Amino acid sequence: MPAVTSESLVEIRDLHFAYDADRPILSGINMRFPRGKVVAIMGGSGCGKTTLLNLIGGQLRPSSGEVRVDGREVAAMDEAELYALRRRMGMLFQFGALFTDMSVFDNVAFPIREHTDLPESLVADLVAMKLQAVGLRGAARLAPRELSGGMARRVALARAVALDPMLVMYDEPFTGLDPISLGIIGQLIRKLTDALGATSIMVTHDIQESLQIVDYIYFMSNGRVVAEGTPDQIRNSTDPFVHQFVHAEADGPVPFHYPAPPIASLLEPRRA
């Protein structure tokens, strides 16, 4: 990854976070997210990936350490500064999170209307362009309930980039998608990142699709970064954790069995 600070849109330095003293979530996280790149954060459920997105977006504040976006420390911002920063961010939530009582058009128009004073004629042009980019301009008047899972995710992607953000965060963008829709979403993330010159941070479990589109990958376990590298480095890694994750092996550094006494110790008294 680039070592020059100015090349990184988001920098995380020695980050610690806990909801309370007895429940540490993140411990000593260091990450860099370069401008114009797609970076994946991977790891098992509950390792702190989504918490990390919330810290970047300012919904949570670190216990210690720093999260910097575009050179500014997020936790040091006041409310007005934080909202101004968020207008330059896009978010694709898990399962899309579309407004169910709004049409496709109004879902994509929502952030434009919320954060700008553009006339409706221009709003309509911008929405048409975003829907065209994800292949759904013809679905503008449909309701979310009329969409397939893959179509709904594409509408959510159009909404996430409606304001041409400098940073887009994706929380499990491939969850619940069929192989065709999954491939479409993956390629759209790559193409839109390149077209906008944005930085994309993607939390995902889908290792095979991610290796096709990302520039760099961080692996997390128990609130720490345990491995990182380019797609080629990850494919060829001999690190036990990375190997287990990439090859979906049941046992390894992440054990299949929850800690328990040997099964023989339970069975032997019954035999007697």
Instruction: Please give the pLDDT value at position 31.
Output: 95
* CATH number for 169: 3.40.50.300
In a domain, 98, yes or no: no
As a whole number, mean pLDDT of residues 46-59 equals 86
How many of the other CB atoms lie within 10 Å of CB of 27?
17
* Mean pLDDT over each residue of the chain, to the nearest integer: 86
Q: Which of 66-80, 130-144, 174-188, 255-269 shows the lowest mean pLDDT across its residues?
A: 255-269
Instruction: Please give the pLDDT value at position 269.
Output: 61
Q: Which of 83-87, 112-116, 133-137, 250-254 shows the lowest mean pLDDT across its residues?
A: 250-254
In a domain, 117, yes or no: no
In a domain, 196, yes or no: yes
pLDDT score of 4 more than 70: no
For the chain, what's the residue count? 272
In a domain, 190, yes or no: yes
In a domain, 237, yes or no: yes
pLDDT score of 3 more than 50: no
- Strands (E) located in 161-246: 167-171, 199-203, 216-221, 224-229
Tell me the HSE value of 243 on the side-chain side, using a 13 A CA sphere.
8
Instruction: Please give the pLDDT value at position 95.
Output: 66
| CA–CA distance, 189 with 184 (Å, rounded to integer) | 9
| CA–CA distance, 134 with 41 (Å, rounded to integer) | 24
Instruction: Please give the pLDDT value at position 223.
Output: 85
**At 211, is the pLDDT very low, low, confident or very high (cuts 50, 70, 90)?**
confident
For residue 170, what are its two tokens? 């994706």
pLDDT score of 244 more than 80: no
Q: Which of 2-6, 49-53, 56-60, 239-243 shows the lowest mean pLDDT across its residues?
A: 2-6
| CA–CA distance, 225 with 221 (Å, rounded to integer) | 7
Helix (H) or strand (E) holding 39: strand 38-43
* SS3 category, 222: coil
Range of the domain at 16: 5-88+165-271
In a domain, 32, yes or no: yes
Instruction: Please give the pLDDT value at position 124.
Output: 95
pLDDT score of 107 more than 70: yes
As a whole number, mean pLDDT of residues 51-71 equals 91
How many of the other CB atoms lie within 10 Å of CB of 133?
18
In a domain, 53, yes or no: yes
Please tell me the total count of domains within the chain: 1
In a domain, 57, yes or no: yes
Global pTM? 0.83
